[in-house]
A and B are shown apart, each in its own frame.
Chain A
Amino acid sequence: MRPIKTIAAGIALAVGLGGAALAADKTKVGFIYVGPIGDGGYTYQHDQGRLAVEKHFGDKVETVYQESVPEGADAERAITQMALNGADLIFTTSFGFMDPTVAVAKKFPNVKFEHATGFKRADNLGTYSARFYEGRTVIGTIAGRMTKTNKIGYIGAYPIPEVIRGINAAFIAARKVNPDVEFNIVWAYTWFDPAKEADAAKALLEQGADVILQHTDSTAPSAAAEKAGNVITFGQASDMAEYKPRPRVSSIIDNWAPYYIERVQAVMDGTWKSDDTWSGIGAGMVEIGEITGVPDDVKKEAEGIRDQIAAGTLHPFTGPLNKQDGTPWLAAGETADDGTLLGMNFYVEGIKGELPK
C-alpha cells in the first residue's frame, strides 16, 4: 500500500497548490454520468440537476461533467481527473461508480464526493438515492388496472437491489388491484442501450404483455410500444413527455435539483458532512408525471396512492407479505425496514421466474 500513499501525497500536494488559487472565487462541481446527457431518462435528469445548480448559483459556481463513463477502471480515471482539475464536490451518479469513487475519495481528502445509489461512505464521501420504489407502487397500480391480458412486461437493467425493489413494489401494487396479474421480467444488462431495450420490449410484447414497465433509461421501449399500438408504458427517470398521452401514461421522475443545490450550498458554507440521503415522493425527489390516457377512476386511484405515500400514511412494503419461496417476510401491518430494502435480493411471493445467479 506504500506506493499508493506516495502518489496520494503527490496528488494532494498538486491539488493543494492548484486548489488554493481557485478556491477563492468559484465552487467547482463535477458530475460523472453513466449515459449520455441526451438519453432522455436517468442521465438527462441528473444533468437537469446540474443545470439547476448553475442557474441557482450563477457565477458563484462552475460545473463540469463527463458523460457515458464506463463503470469500472475508466471511471476511476475520470473521477481523478475532475479532482485534479480542482473540483470541490463531485457527484458520481451510478451504482457501478462505487468502488472507483471510494478509491479516488481516499486520494483526495479535501474534495467532497457524493455517490448515488451505493452504500460505501467515508468522511469525504456521502451517498444519496431516491425512493424510486414509491413511484413504482403508483405506476404498478395503474399497470394492474389497465392490463387486459393480465401480462405485464418488465425490463430490468441489472438484478441489483435497486431494481429488484422496484419490481417487487410494482408487483405488490399491481396484484393488490388485480389478483390475476403476472410479471414477465427481462434483464437487459445495461442501463442505456436503445437497441437492446427495444428488443426486450418486442420480446415482451410477443409474449402477450400489454403493459411495459422499464428500469432502463431510454425511450426505446415507448417507441416499440407506440408501434405495436394498444400497449402502455411509463416514463423512467424522466417524464418522456413526447410519448404522451399514450403509450406513456405516466412516469417516475427523478428530481435531483433541490438536493444538488442543497449540497453545493453546504460545500460553500463549509457545512458539508458525509451522510446518507434517501428521499422519496414526500420530499419531492421522486415525482409522478402527469397521468394521461387512462380512465378517470384509475387516475384518481393512482393519485390517491401517490398522496398517501407522500403523506407517509402508506408504505409500499406493508405486510402481510411472503418471499417468493413462501417463507414469511412481513407480518400483517408490518412495514419493511430500510436495511432490508437496500439489500433486497429476493422476489416477493407470486412473481414467477428466478433471479439471475
Chain B
Amino acid sequence: MFHLEPRPQTSKLWIAITPLLAVVATMIAGGILFAFLGKDPFVSIRLIFWDPLFGDFAFYYRPQLLVKGAPLILIAIGLSLGFRAGIWNIGAEGQYIIGAICGAAVGLAFYPMESWLIFPLMILAGALGGTLWAMIPAILKVRYGTNEILVSLMLVYVAEKLLASMSLGLLKNPEGHGFPGSRNLRDYASAFNDELFAGTGMHWGVAAAFIAVILAYVLLNRHMLGFQIRLTGQAPRAARFAGVNPPRLILFCLGTSGMLAGLAGMFEVSGPSGQISIDFNTGYGFTAIIVAFLGRLHPVGILLAGLLLALTYIGGEIAQGQLNLPAAAIQLFQGMLLFFLLAVDLLSNFRIRLNQRKESI
C-alpha cells in the first residue's frame, strides 16, 4: 500500500515540523492511555503540557523547568561532542556522581568557615572530579584500545558504591544521629548554590548550561576542533588524512563530557539537592543521552530537548499528584514521546508514497 521513498535532500520543512507532529501524536496516544485508566484525557494532557507553563502555579513550575532541565542540558552538550565523533561516553551518571562528591567534599572540608572563595573552589573540584573519572575510560581506550562504552558504563556502578560509602562514612553529617547523608549545603551560605535572582530558578548550574550551549555552538561551527569532531564522525578515514589526531580527540571528547557532567553534579548537590546521600543520583546522566539524540546532537536542539523533557517530568508529576495517575503511566507517556519523535524523524529523510495500482514492483 505504502512505500517509503528517500528524499534527495533532508527536508528542512519536515525537520521543523516533526517535533510538533510527535508532540501531537503523543497527546493523542497518551490521551487514549489516560482514558483507559479512567482519567479525563483532556485534563491530563492539560496538566502535563499547559499547567507547568501557564497554570495557576506557573510562577513555581517555570523556574523548576530550568532546575530540572539544566543538568540534562549541561550533560547532553558534553555527550554530544563525543557522539558526533563516534566516541560513546555512556557513563555520564558516574561522572555526575564523582563531580558532586568532589564538589561537596571541598565545601564540607571548609565547614563552617565562610568565604567567597569556597564556591569557586567547589566548582573547580567538581569539574576536575568529573574529568578525571572520564579519563579512566579515555586513557584505557587510547592506551589499550578498550571499549569506552563498557568501561564508562561499568564505572557508573563503581561511582554509586563510592557515593554510598561517602554517605555512610567520610562525608556523613556528624550531627545526623547516625543517619546516612552529608550536611545540607543549603545551611552553609558559602557553599550554597543559591538562586541568582529570586524566584527564577536560575542558579549557577543553569547559567553554566546556557554558557555550555553557546560555547558548543561556537566550537562546532567556528573552530578547527569542531570541524575535526564532525569530520571524524562522518568519515573517520578522511579525518585521519586531514590531520586529526584520534587519541587527542578521544581525550578531549571524554574529558569535556566528564567535566560538564561533573559540573552538573556539583551544581545539583550544592543547590537543588543540597546533600550527598545514597540516593543522590536520579538518572540525569542516562536521561541526558536521550536529550542529546532528541536534540539531534545540535547545541540549540539539545537546549530545547532538555526543556521539553523537563516539561514532561514536571507536568507528569502534576498529573500524578492531582489525578492520582500511576507513576508508570507517566513513564509510559514519556516513552511515547521519544518513540514518536524518533518515528516521525523518518519523514525528514523519506516521503511516504501511495503505491499506484498499475506500477508493479
Contact = CB atoms under 8 A, between A and B. Distances in A.
Partners in one complex: yes
A66 B329 CA distance: 12
24 contacts: A1-B189, A2-B198, A3-B197, A6-B199, A14-B57, A36-B326, A64-B321, A65-B321, A68-B327, A72-B277, A73-B67, A74-B282, A77-B68, A78-B321, A81-B60, A81-B321, A85-B322, A96-B277, A119-B179, A158-B278, A189-B278, A342-B177, A343-B177, A343-B179
Nearest to A117: B179
Given A73-B272, A158-B180, A10 B282 contact: no
A95 interface: yes
A356 interface: yes
Interface in A137-189: 158-161, 189
Contacts of A96: 277, 279
Contacts of B349: none
A66 B57 contact: no
A357 B64 contact: no
Interface band, chain B: 35 or more
Contacts of B189: 1
B265 to A, nearest CB: 12
Given A103-B186, A161-B177, A356-B165, A66 B317 contact: yes
Contact of B328 (A10, A14, A36, A65): A36
A15 to B, nearest CB: 10
Contacts of A77: 64, 68, 314, 317
Nearest 3 pairs between A and B by C-beta?
A3-B198, A345-B178, A68-B327
A85 B168 contact: no
B60 A72 contact: no
In this complex, the member of B64, B277, B278 whose beta carbon has the largest number of chain A beta carbons within 10 angstroms is: B278
Contacts of A37: 326
Interface of A: 1-4, 6-7, 10-11, 14, 18, 30, 36-38, 64-68, 70-74, 76-78, 80-82, 84-85, 95-96, 99, 103, 119, 158-161, 189, 342-345, 355-357
Contacts of B273: 72-73
B182 to A, nearest CB: 11
B111 interface: no
Nearest to B63: A7
Given A64-B324, A66-B321, A76-B272, A161 B186 contact: no
B178 A344 contact: yes
Contact of B168 (A11, A65, A357): A357
B165 A71 contact: no
A202 to B, nearest CB: 19
Given A3-B198, A65-B324, A81-B318, 16 more contacts: A6-B199, A10-B199, A14-B59, A36-B327, A65-B321, A67-B326, A68-B327, A70-B282, A72-B273, A72-B277, A81-B321, A84-B60, A99-B181, A99-B184, A160-B178, A356-B164
A6 B198 contact: yes
Contact of A72 (B56, B169, B280): B280
Interface string B191-234: 00011011100000000000000000000000000000000000
A18 B189 CA distance: 33
A99 B275 contact: yes
B287 interface: no
Contacts of A66: 317, 320-321, 327
Interface of B: 56-57, 59-60, 64, 67-68, 160, 164-165, 168-169, 177-181, 184, 186, 189, 194-195, 197-199, 268, 272-275, 277-280, 282, 314, 317-318, 320-322, 324, 326-328
B269 to A, nearest CB: 9
Contacts of B165: 356-357
A82 B178 contact: no
A18 B180 contact: no
B198 A7 contact: yes
A161 B179 contact: yes
Given A70-B282, A74-B282, A80-B60, A160 B179 contact: yes
B115 to A, nearest CB: 17
A158 B180 CA distance: 9
A78 B318 CA distance: 8
A68 B324 CA distance: 12
